[in-house]
Structure 1
Amino acid sequence: MQVAFIIDSSYFIAAFLFIYGLKQMSSPRSARAGIVLAGVGMVIAVLASFLYSLDVRPEAKPMLQTNMLLALVALSLGLGWAWWSGKKVAMTAMPQMVALYNGMGGGAAAAIAAIELSGYQTHGSISLLLAVLGGLIGAVSLSGSLIAWAKLDGRINKTLRMTGLQLINGSLLLVLGGVAIYIVWQGGQVSQWLFLAFFAMALLYGVMMTMPIGGADMPVVISLYNAFTGLAVGFEGYVLNNPALMIAGMVVGSAGTMLTLLMAKAMNRSVRNVLFSNFGAAADDGEQNISGSQKPIEASDAAINMRYAGKVIIAPGYGLAVAQAQHKLFEFVELLQAAGVEVKFAIHPVAGRMPGHMNVLLAEAGVPYDLIFDMEEINSEFKEADVAIVIGANDTVNPSARTNKSSPIYGMPVLNVDQARQVYVIKRGQGKGYSGVENELFFADNCQLIYGDAQKVLAAMLQAVKNLESS
């Protein structure tokens, strides 16, 4: 009784820390503390699970000792790999790591389901149904997340497009549903080969569902699979009668669902459109008729103009993360502030590779939170800005999203950088964004481009202002 009380109490504390930690993550100021609290909750939940060894029948002790040894080995391997990879990973690769870790969570849920189903003893039809659904969703999340990771990491550079692909995927899903119903109908007493076929088809479906989706939509896909993983974990928690798993799964599932919907809304698209459209693949922009030309400018000239501006708004994008130029950027911002220039940062909801990517990047460089504004808070201020500077962003600042109904990004809310008196764009070359369309902003009369790596460009701008101040 005492052991059971300690386990249940530990799970309650862990659940509270999960929920409170997630609440803390809603603000950049408290996000770090929230992550730590949720991590502490996970440690408590893991340690509590080992207490089951104190409350088993004597005849089960040998098997339990073997399982405990395997669990300790798995924990050691997981902790070692996570510690090493977490220290090594660059900020630009963080979305890939999130996708990878999310896939591992789905895989763990699928593994639990596979073990439960292979030795299933009747616990009721609801438990069996949730075990099957958890296994299906977890397997789809595993393979789908791995494809998302490979796409974000540049290991898969092509999308799978073929006639009738949606019909094939729909048929595969129907077969999976039929097999799931059959397993439940038979009370779980079916051939082991059917279980293997079921999980193999689920893994295949995750691949087939993700391969056609373009890179621009990968952040939404990762968020969706995060919700899937949470749902699978919650189902398996019910099957195992484990409150910590149930609560953690529900929290992750609901948070992932909300994030997916918010991201889709930020792109003015539905989740269905994300999953079944061609956005993110190369678009046919042959009908685009953009007047004007791209006008280059030297970094030093742009920097001096910014030094004498009254208000500057910065719109960062993935190019800033690739160049790891956030520290140089903030150093430049501090120089401008010292000269009396008002500087603000404008963050698009899907800037970078996932929500919050730019916020974390700027926080890492020490940028104060009160300088960072979400799109809806600052979009109306661009018309008052003397200068807007875009660093490595493309689709999120393309004004054609407001006017060109034939554009694949039409309707997507964008930062109103084109409304500033002068716009400077730092970009490595003349390439297009993830959507594959040309950016009208780059040809506008009030826009000039500074070509080059953001790290080197900002270093040159920084030096130009320093030279001006010292002369």
Structure 2
Amino acid sequence: MTTFIAVLYIISFALFIYGLMGLTGPRTAVRGNWIAAVGMGIAVIATLLTPGMGNGLLIALGVGIGVAVGVPSARKVKMTAMPQMVALFNGVGGGAVALIAWVEFRTTEGYAHEPAYVAIASLFAAIVGSVSFWGSNIAFGKLQELISGRPITLGKLQQPVNALVLIAAIVFAVVIATGGDAELLMIGLLVAAGVLGVVVVLPIGGADMPVVISLLNALTGLSAAAMGLALDNTALIVAGMIVGASGSILTNLMAKAMNRSIPAIVAGGFGGGTAVASSGSGEVRPVRSTSASDTAIQMAYANKVVVVPGYGMAVAQAQHVVREMAKLLEAKGITVAYAIHPVAGRMPGHMNVLLAEADVPYEQLKEMDEINSEFAQTDVALVIGANDVTNPAAETDPGSPIYGMPILKVNHSRSVIVLKRSMSSGFAGIDNELFYDAKTSMLFGDAKSSVGEIVEELKAL
């Protein structure tokens, strides 16, 4: 049986890795998810076959409750709310690890007679899992707008408080590892780590939230791997390390895409509220408005149109009508491409998933580094709800909080049309200088309705 279980684990790990490889491209992403899911199913079966695993009825009950809650939630959630769900599900994983560490503490009487590595790994998992659980819940609250997206800080006391609760959690861990077996010590550790997760994420603004979600996901993976080491569970070790490593790489890539360091984000991000579109002196700056009819005419006589999707497109669920518009333009011999910024939307790959849902050809999706060189040859750049990722202030204004962040250089196009509901700012809470460019026209209204009107005008041409 031991050999058979080991073989099942090896098969599951191979499927994990093969499935992860599938996530590197849109065409293979769905298949990759299914392959990895099968791998996890095999790992679960292998774990349940381990002698002395526990009460089968309770395990079945837990699986049933998880399925009853998870499947309907995942099926019903809108794409615009997917980042919140990712944050919530990730937090549940971290919380589960923290609870397992607590159970391990209780069943071993404070890790008495356990090797030192078991206590250290379990305590590490407890701290990181608790931080991930509570931090992910704060991220969920910000994304769901249950909590203000603006940074909520303690001012100059923020960093000292962060350091204090971190030290408290470490002190509890050290006391436990050196022989303390009072349950209040473990409860104190979990509470201190939970407070740390809250106070670290609250000061981070909405603009940095995609990076935070990715970072917390990586932390959950690391905590699971540590707990697997303590429990001698190969599945937890391998799966946790895969999640931790891939999440860390993704977090680093996203931070680079925003020209920000991870420590700077954790220390307190920028923005997250609504600002009035005005000049520095408080004087309202003029913008040029346009209509669906003029937009349709302008695009109909273009050679190349680049669509720049953002969170506004996701909110309006406009991806299908955007695809319809693109088909009409292509039928007229016009080249259409989509410019994708790494942090557009509220989670990595948000725009890619939405456009794939509308059957946009994958070869038309162009990443920032690839498309930026093409804007100079673009007749019309149609910006649909993207804000900070198109703001030229990132290149021209050293005093801007987003200065240095790589952007989509839509201002290099011959003409720019921006679809927005209003002149409100993006997650960074600052004006977008693109709106006041002489080449820019604003088409105000709901993105789906506005694009629908453009479609009707194109059909009439």
Normalised to the residue count of structure 1, the TM-score between the two structures is 0.94
| Equivalence for 1:59 | none
Q: Is the 8 A contact 2:101 2:123 kept in 1?
A: yes
Q: Find the partner of 2:348 among 352, 355, 363.
A: 355
Q: Find the partner of 2:19 among 18, 21, 27.
A: 21
> Separation in 2 of the partners of 1:171 and 1:322?
40
> Separation in 2 of the partners of 1:206 and 1:429?
35
Deviation at 1:175, TM superposition (A): 1.5
| Equivalence for 2:92 | 104
> Separation in 2 of the partners of 1:465 and 1:281?
37
| Equivalence for 2:211 | 220
Q: Which SS does the other structure have where 1:346 is aligned?
A: strand
Structure 1: 5+ residue stretches without partners:
57-62
Q: For the structure 1 residues 207 and 291, does the alpha-carbon distance in structure 2 shift closer, same or farther, using more than 3 Å as the test? A: closer
Q: Which SS does the other structure have where 2:26 is aligned?
A: coil
Q: Is the 8 A contact 2:172 2:188 kept in 1?
A: no
| Equivalence for 1:71 | 59
Q: Is the 8 A contact 1:266 1:412 kept in 2?
A: yes
> Separation in 2 of the partners of 1:93 and 1:21?
25
What is the correspondence of 1:105-254 to structure 2 with a 5 Å cutoff? 105-120=93-108, 121-157=112-148, 158-163=150-155, 164-186=157-179, 189-254=180-245
> Separation in 2 of the partners of 1:321 and 1:258?
26
2:75 is equivalent to residue 87 of structure 1: yes
| Equivalence for 1:60 | none
Deviation at 1:404, TM superposition (A): 0.2
Q: Which SS does the other structure have where 2:139 is aligned?
A: helix
Q: Is the 8 A contact 1:25 1:35 kept in 2?
A: yes
Q: Find the partner of 2:401 among 405, 408, 415.
A: 408
Q: Is the 8 A contact 1:403 1:410 kept in 2?
A: yes
Q: Which SS does the other structure have where 2:398 is aligned?
A: coil
Q: State which drifts further: 133-142 or 17-26.
A: 17-26
Q: How big is each residue's C-alpha offset from its partner over 1:39-58, in whole Å with a ceiling of 9 and x where there is no partner?
A: 10111111222212xx34xx
Q: Is the 8 A contact 1:284 1:437 kept in 2?
A: yes
Q: How big is each residue's C-alpha offset from its partner over 1:175-218, in whole Å with a ceiling of 9 and x where there is no partner?
A: 111121121122xx420111111111111111111111111111
| Equivalence for 1:271 | 262
Q: Is the 8 A contact 1:118 1:195 kept in 2?
A: no
Deviation at 1:291, TM superposition (A): 9.6
> Separation in 2 of the partners of 1:275 and 1:346?
28
2:416 is equivalent to residue 423 of structure 1: yes
> Separation in 2 of the partners of 1:310 and 1:281?
37
Q: Which SS does the other structure have where 2:337 is aligned?
A: strand
Q: Is the 8 A contact 2:274 2:424 kept in 1?
A: no
Structure 2: 5+ residue stretches without partners:
none
> Separation in 2 of the partners of 1:278 and 1:149?
16
Q: Which SS does the other structure have where 2:338 is aligned?
A: strand
Q: How big is each residue's C-alpha offset from its partner over 1:345-394, in whole Å with a ceiling of 9 and x where there is no partner?
A: 00001000011000000000000001001000110110110100100000
Q: What amino acid maps onto 1:136 in structure 2?
A: I
> Separation in 2 of the partners of 1:246 and 1:231?
9
Q: Which SS does the other structure have where 1:412 is aligned?
A: coil
Q: Is the 8 A contact 2:308 2:384 kept in 1?
A: yes
Q: For the structure 1 residues 130 and 203, does the alpha-carbon distance in structure 2 shift closer, same or farther, using more than 3 Å as the test? A: same
Matched positions, count: 454
Q: What amino acid maps onto 1:70 in structure 2?
A: L
Q: How big is each residue's C-alpha offset from its partner over 1:58-109, in whole Å with a ceiling of 9 and x where there is no partner?
A: xxxxx93xx2211111100111111101110000011111001100110111
Deviation at 1:293, TM superposition (A): 2.0
Q: Is the 8 A contact 1:291 1:443 kept in 2?
A: no
Q: Which SS does the other structure have where 1:180 is aligned?
A: helix
Identity of aligned residues (%): 45
Q: What amino acid maps onto 1:114 in structure 2?
A: W
Q: What amino acid maps onto 2:207 in structure 1?
A: A
Q: Is the 8 A contact 2:325 2:455 kept in 1?
A: yes
Deviation at 1:159, TM superposition (A): 3.3
Q: Which SS does the other structure have where 1:405 is aligned?
A: coil
> Separation in 2 of the partners of 1:363 and 1:226?
24
> Separation in 2 of the partners of 1:242 and 1:321?
40
| Equivalence for 2:361 | 368
2:375 is equivalent to residue 382 of structure 1: yes
Q: Is the 8 A contact 2:168 2:189 kept in 1?
A: no
What is the correspondence of 1:426-441 to structure 2 with a 5 Å cutoff? 426-441=419-434
Q: Is the 8 A contact 1:12 1:244 kept in 2?
A: no
> Separation in 2 of the partners of 1:345 and 1:36?
27
> Separation in 2 of the partners of 1:371 and 1:281?
31
Q: For the structure 1 residues 90 and 281, does the alpha-carbon distance in structure 2 shift closer, same or farther, using more than 3 Å as the test? A: closer
Q: Is the 8 A contact 2:169 2:190 kept in 1?
A: no
Q: Is the 8 A contact 1:326 1:361 kept in 2?
A: yes
Normalised to the residue count of structure 2, the TM-score between the two structures is 0.96
| Equivalence for 1:445 | 438
